Copies of this chain bind each other. A is one copy, B any other.
Amino acid sequence: MNISLEHKRHTLAHLLAAAVVEQYPHAKLTLGPAIDTGFYYDVDFSAGDTPGEEDLKGIQKSMKKLMNKWTEFTHEEVSVEQARQEFSGNQFKLELIEEIAAKGEVITLYTCGGFTDLCRGGHCENPKEEIASDAFKLDKIAGAYWRGDEKNPMLTRIYGLAFDTKDELAAYEKQLEEAKKRDHRKLGKELGLFSFSDLVGPGLPLWSPKGTILRQEVDAFVQQLRKEKGYQTVTIPHLAKKALYECSGHWQKYSEDLFKVRAKNDDESEEYVLKPMNCPHHTQIYDSEQRSYKELPIRYADTTMVYRAEQSGELSGLTRVLSITQDDAHVFCRESQLRTEIESIWDIVDTFYSAFGFTLKVRLSFHDPADVEKYLGEASIWNETEGLMETIAKDRQVDYFIGIGEASFYAPKIDFMAQDSIGRTHQVATIQLDRLLPERFDLSCINEQGEKERVVMIHAAIAGSLERFIAVLIEHTGGNFPFRFAPVQIAIIPVAEVHNAYASAIYEQLSKAGFRAEIDISNESMGKKIRAAKKGRLPYFIVVGDTDIETHSVTLESRDTGESKSLSIEALLAKLTLENT
């Protein structure tokens, strides 16, 4: 967000606080920052009444009224003692004051319209003039622990939305509303794609036959694109000895997030780890033979699950899960082959996402030179690698930006963000260059001179996490999956029993040709059958009646265009075959 918008949102947090203390004099203010879509303030109401969602309108009204007097911010530097005085009785602010003091920083108080708060600054000059009173709105109330720690008191968080203009606010609200309708948890259930079980546990989705088809078709598309580029599939077990991750460095960096596996409770020597990534295993396949430069690039692909220990409270639908299916791949190549390989992956990413109608943004995720101890390897290697990435991005003439500090600890990345049909962006594919794992695992080839030559690795997921991609895809399409990916592609609905035989013959022909067809010969009314096909978001359905039988044709209705047209069975097969590729 631009600085002016951030200042507006921050100012609105102050204004919200002012309105709250006016109506709820017992309220203790804590913290209130600007956020991506507006602002919030965390308030302790424990000494009296707590507002509910029904009170938000009233508070918002006060805010607008107060704003008329908010024409100027003033601020003063105060001593610790003065600050303690000002906020005596508010243990939250006092805690903040002690922290600022301990760091030896200056304590500042900001005042506007007679309301004073402990603050570092960053507001509008003249709120009344700058903030459009119809471009913000109190949104919702939630619980939040003081400083996010569940051992601390629970506070009341009041959220507000805020934009530069009324139209922007309206557009965002529309997006929210649309997103709610498309919520993948809701649609996933409605379309029968996946479910959760209390016995299995949260964060561990169970995929139905329909959901499995969707997963398989998405993955098959990735694998098809990869096969054209010379990728080969490998298979690895889902666990490994701790030693593998000590060698890769993951153990030292991330051991808290790893699932540890043990057979006998008393056997310390046999500690295994559920794989959090696939790269260490893939290095071992590469390294199982001596490689000649003639074999390179070697490109291993593997769609398999990795495991990351998240707090149960953080698990949600398909977006935060404990077992993540990655369509992972690793390229082992020489320095001279790097550029071609990165371009080749980039081509796959472009083809893949455009097939679903996503627009891609590119972030070059580089290391933060101000925080070098976070990263493995020498600065010169990082700089060289990042330079190559930027050159490729420039030459491809894509719209990119650089994200300092967004690299993983062992390599810079090219991150792709997909913009969905309701305007949200999601981080999806990545291409990671890596000169460090080849060092740690001593990976080499024998070059033209008969010498050992260090190889380079590229990590490249296309869909990324299949769970997350499918969540995004469901919300992007509203469950209207493209024909090729739809779990059921076409329904055949006979008008009456007399049409069943002809309908069955069409069903058989479509199934034999490899299409996922369904025939509905239940006793339900035709209207109900059609509604069922529509509710299931089937790309097509065919209603079979007398005319169709007489003319040896079918009447095909399209979900996407709503149009109905009659065509011969040959023409139907040809049309669907074309759409399937």
Question: Footprint of B on A, CB under 8 Å?
Answer: 192, 195, 197-201, 204-209, 211-213, 215-216, 232-241, 243-244, 247, 256-265, 270, 272, 274, 280-281, 284-285, 287-289, 300, 305, 307, 309, 312, 321-323
Check B288–A239 contact: CB distance below 8 A.
no
**A262, B264: Cβ atoms under 8 Å?**
no
A294 to chain B, nearest CB (A): 9
Contact between A216 and B236, CB atoms less than 8 A apart: no
Alpha-carbon distance between A219 and B560 when the two chains are bound, in angstroms: 36
> Apart from A201-B272, A238-B305, what 19 extra A-B contacts exist at CB < 8 Å?
A197-B244, A198-B243, A199-B241, A201-B239, A201-B241, A204-B240, A206-B236, A207-B235, A208-B234, A208-B285, A209-B234, A238-B274, A238-B307, A239-B274, A239-B307, A257-B263, A260-B263, A261-B261, A264-B309
Docked pose: A257 CA to B274 CA in angstroms: 17
Question: What chain B residues lie within 8 Å of A198 (beta carbons)?
Answer: 243
Q: Is the CB of B263 within 8 A of A262?
A: no
Contact of B236 with A259 in the complex, beta carbons under 8 Å? no
In the bound complex, do residue A212 and residue B233 qualify as a contact, i.e. CB atoms below 8 Å apart?
Answer: yes
Known contacts A195-B285, A209-B233, A260-B265; is A239 also within 8 Å of B309 by CB? no
Shortest 7 CB-CB contacts between residues of A and residues of B: A263-B309, A209-B232, A195-B288, A207-B235, A197-B284, A237-B323, A201-B241
8 residue pairs from A and B, CB less than 8 Å apart: A200-B281, A204-B240, A206-B234, A208-B234, A209-B300, A212-B233, A239-B274, A259-B262
Cα of A256 to Cα of B262 in the assembled complex, Å: 10
With contacts A237-B205, A274-B274 known, is A192 near B289, CB below 8 A? yes
A435 to B233, CA, bound (A): 39
By a CB distance below 8 angstroms, the chain B residues around A322 are 237, 239
Q: Which residues of chain B are within 8 angstroms of A281 by Cβ–Cβ distance?
A: 200, 206
Measured CA separation A265–B271 after assembly (Å): 12
Main SS of the interface on chain A?
mixed
Q: Which chain B residue has the least Cβ–Cβ distance from A288?
A: B195
Chain B's nearest CB lies how many Å from the CB of A305? 6
Bound complex: CA A257 to CA B262 (Å): 10
Chain B residues near A206: list those with CB within 8 A. Answer: 234-237, 281, 284-285, 288
Report B-chain residues with C-beta under 8 Å of the C-beta of A205: 237
**Complexed CA–CA distance, A233 and B215 (Å):** 11
Contact of A204 among B239, B265, B287 (CB under 8 A): B239
Collect the chain B residues with CB atoms within 8 Å of residue A213's CB. 233
For residue A522, give the distance in angstroms from its CB to the closest CB of chain B: 9
Nearest to A202 among chain B residues (CB) is B241
Task: Verify A240–B209 contact, CB threshold 8 A.
Answer: no
Output the least CB separation between A171 and chain B (Å): 37
Which B residues touch A235, using CB under 8 A? Answer: 206-207, 211-212, 215
Contacts of A200 in B (CB 8 A): 237, 240-241, 244, 281, 284
Q: How far is the CA of A211 from the CA of B208 in the complex (A)?
A: 29
Q: How far is the CA of A261 from the CA of B322 in the complex (A)?
A: 12
Cα of A263 to Cα of B205 in the assembled complex, Å: 18
Best-surrounded residue of A200, A213, A289 (most CB of chain B within 10 A): A200
Which B-chain residue is minimally distant from A289 (CB atoms)? Answer: B192
Q: Are A323 and B239 in contact (CB under 8 A)?
A: yes
Q: Cα distance A72–B215 when bound, in Å?
A: 72
> Are B323 and A238 interface neighbours, CB within 8 A?
yes
The residue in chain B whose Cβ has the minimal distance to the Cβ of A197 is: B284
- Chain B residue with minimal CB distance to A309? B263
**List of B residues within 8 angstroms of A284 by Cβ:** 195, 197, 199-200, 206
A260 and B259 within 8 A (CB)? no
Does A236 lie within 8 Å of B207, measured CB to CB? yes
Cβ-defined contact, B243 with A199, below 8 A: yes
Q: Please indicate the chain B residues that have their CB under 8 angstroms from the CB of A238 in the complex.
A: 238, 274, 305, 307, 323
Task: Across the interface, name the chain B residue whose C-beta is closest to A294.
Answer: B522
Q: Which residue of B lies closest to A324 (CB)?
A: B237
| Distance between Cα atoms of A6 and B536 in the complex (Å) | 65
Contact of A261 among B208, B256, B274 (CB under 8 A): B274
CA distance A287 to B199 in the complex (A): 11
Nearest B residue (CB) for A207: B235
User: A241: which B residues are within 8 A, CB to CB?
Assistant: 199-201
Shortest Cβ distance from residue A550 to the other chain B in the assembled complex, whole angstroms:
32
| Nearest residue, chain B, Cβ from A310 | B263
Contacts of A257 in B (CB 8 A): 263
Q: Give the CA-CA distance A459 to B239 in the complex, in Å.
A: 26
B264 contacts A261, C-beta separation under 8 Å: no
Closest to A466 in B: B235
- The residue among A257, A289, A307 with the most chain B CB atoms within 10 A of its own CB is A307
Least CB distance, A249 to chain B, in whole angstroms: 13
What B residues does A197 contact at CB under 8 A?
244, 284, 287-288
Contact B216 A233 (CB under 8 A): yes
Cβ-neighbour of A305 out of B237, B240, B258, B323 (below 8 A): B237
Closest beta carbon of chain B to A254's beta carbon, Å: 11
Docked CA distance A206–B307 (Å): 18
- Bound-state Cα–Cα, A524 to B207, Å: 51
Tell me the bound Cα distance from A43 to B558 in angstroms: 81
Contact assessment for B212 and A244 in the assembled complex, using a CB-CB cutoff below 8 Å: no
State in angstroms the CA–CA spacing of A241 and B315 once bound together: 15
